[in-house]
Copies of this chain bind each other. A is one copy, B any other.
Amino acid sequence: MENTCPLNYGLEVFGDRWSLLVIRDIAFWGKKTFGEFLRSNERPATNILAGRLARLEKNGFIVKRTDEKDKRKEIYSLTEKGLDLIPMLMEIGAWAAKYDPRQPEEFKQFVTMVRADQQRLTAHFIDKVRNGGAIFADAVGRQSGDGPIE
């Protein structure tokens, strides 16, 4: 990283598709394990996913700990540094709500709601995720296509 542009810095440490999709899965869908990330709609390859999880951990965006109830599982969660990406993810969502014709009305309303009281709601969502929840409810079983709000 030869220069100090903040955007370039961000793009180099978290700015690739698979990394951001993992962060999304944790923050918006409450996913926590390798297998759950693997079964996302976008279907990452196992080696790519493993690499991204390692890098995200190395760079301090996520931490992992072994599940005490099932020691095969590793539980991944966001650090403060990772939680602070939520506002950016929401801006991407807001953009897509406006320009992706496939986004449902339901989601556009969600964005409007967020925009109406941006900082208060953002803080609320970060808090929710910090405490083990997820922005779109705490349901991993739900699919992206099901619509965003509980």
Q: Contacts A3-B144, A84-B98, A88-B94 known; list 15 others, CB within 8 Å.
A: A2-B41, A3-B41, A6-B93, A7-B20, A7-B24, A8-B42, A9-B96, A10-B92, A10-B95, A10-B96, A11-B20, A11-B92, A15-B17, A87-B94, A88-B92
A119 at the interface (CB under 8 A from B): yes
Residues of B within 8 A of A103 (CB): 4, 6, 9
Residues of B within 8 A of A97 (CB): 6
A21 at the interface (CB under 8 A from B): yes
Q: Is the interface of A mostly helix, strand, loop or mixed?
A: helix
Contact of A145 among B4, B87, B98 (CB under 8 A): B4
A7 and B91 in contact, given A81-B99, A84-B99 (Cβ under 8 angstroms): no
Q: Enumerate 26 A-B pairs (CB-CB under 8 Å) in ascending A order.
A: A2-B41, A4-B103, A5-B41, A6-B96, A6-B97, A7-B24, A7-B89, A7-B92, A8-B41, A8-B42, A9-B96, A10-B96, A11-B17, A11-B21, A12-B17, A16-B16, A16-B17, A81-B99, A84-B98, A84-B99, A87-B94, A87-B95, A88-B88, A88-B92, A88-B95, A91-B91
Residues of B within 8 A of A94 (CB): 87-88
Residues of B within 8 A of A115 (CB): 119
In the bound complex, CA of A6 to CA of B98 (Å): 10
A100 and B9 in contact, given A2-B41, A88-B91, A94-B87 (Cβ under 8 angstroms): yes
